[in-house]
């Protein structure tokens, strides 16, 4: 017997597809990283985001996310920390555009792939709404009488980021080609400003408590 109910699985996959085609903060962050540093940096940021998502899925399955949800002070502290980090990245990108220094200064002091991975991981991990999303959404498709709930959550949780991969495979190369053309022209310096503004907006949105 499958550990997950096939009918619930079909409904979950459909719901995930609808969520994937709706742009969210993670997709916007990856887009900003790609515009600022190219396709390799975009994929590194994506890997970091997925690492953060994996942690959230594990915490939700273990029930830790429920403890965060029950502690308003901790939830607020995590939200402010994540928003502050995004705002800092945004300010760095905007400063780079003002200086006209190009992509080597964008969104931080270094543009190594490790730095892009770390930024994606931290921004996702410090967003408590991601954990609460898995805590509130995934259990809707769990049948407690079929197998342990934590096992079903560990099976269902990764399917959402997996379904998003094809969209990133289209988004990242397309954004990288556009960025390459712009950097070859006089408009190139504004890519840092665009990425910085995007990060700044995401930080303000998170700080304001927007659900998406």
* pLDDT at res. 52: 94
Which residue in 125, 98, 127, 121 sits closest to 205, CA to CA? 127
Q: Is pLDDT at 147 greater than 70 in this prediction?
A: yes
Helix axes 113-125, 39-62, angle to 10 degrees: 30
Please state, in angstroms and rounded to a whole number, the distance separating the CA atoms of residues 149 and 183: 50
- SS3 for the chain is CCCCCHHHHHHHHHHHHHHHCCCCHHHHHHHHHHHHHCHHHHHHHHHHHHHHHHHHHHHHHHCHHHHHHCCHHHHHHHHHHHHHHHHHHHHHHHHHHHHCCCHHHCCCCCCCHHHHHHHHHHHHHCCHHHHHHHHHHHHHHCCCCCCCHHHHHHHHCCHHHHHHHHHHHHHHHHHHHHHHHHHCCCCCCHHHHHHHHHHHHHHHHHHHCCCC
At residue 211 the predicted structure's pLDDT band, cuts being 50, 70 and 90, is very low
Query: pTM of the prediction?
Result: 0.75
Q: Is pLDDT at 119 greater than 60 in this prediction?
A: yes
Which residue in 57, 92, 54, 43 sits closest to 193, CA to CA? 92
Percent of the chain with pLDDT over 70: 82
Q: Is pLDDT at 49 greater than 90 in this prediction?
A: yes
Q: Is pLDDT at 70 greater than 50 in this prediction?
A: yes
> What is the tens place of the pLDDT at every residue in 17-46?
888 877 778 888 898 889 888 899 999 999
- Joined together, the tokens standing for residue 134 give 């898995």
> What is the tens place of the pLDDT at every residue in 122-136?
989 888 778 878 877
């Amino acid at each position: 017997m499958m550990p997950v109910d096939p009918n619930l699985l079909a409904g979950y996959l459909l719901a995930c597809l609808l969520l994937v085609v709706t742009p969210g903060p993670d997709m916007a962050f990856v887009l900003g990283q790609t515009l600022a540093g190219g396709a390799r940096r975009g994929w590194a940021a994506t890997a970091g985001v997925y690492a953060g998502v994996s942690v959230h899925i594990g915490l939700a399955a273990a029930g830790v996310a429920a403890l965060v949800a029950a502690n308003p002070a901790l939830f607020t502290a995590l939200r402010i920390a994540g928003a502050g980090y995004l705002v800092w990245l945004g300010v760095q990108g905007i400063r780079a555009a003002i200086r006209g220094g190009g992509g080597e200064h964008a969104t931080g002091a270094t543009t190594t792939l490790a730095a892009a991975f770390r930024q994606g991981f931290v921004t996702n991990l410090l967003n408590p709404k991601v954990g609460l999303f898995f805590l509130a959404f995934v259990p809707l498709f769990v049948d407690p009488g079929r197998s342990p709930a934590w096992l079903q959550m560990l099976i269902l949780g990764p399917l959402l980021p997996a379904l998003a991969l094809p969209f990133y495979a289209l988004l990242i190369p397309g954004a990288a080609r556009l960025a390459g053309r712009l950097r070859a022209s006089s408009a190139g310096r504004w890519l840092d400003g665009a990425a910085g503004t995007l990060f700044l907006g995401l930080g303000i949105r998170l700080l304001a408590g927007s659900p998406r």
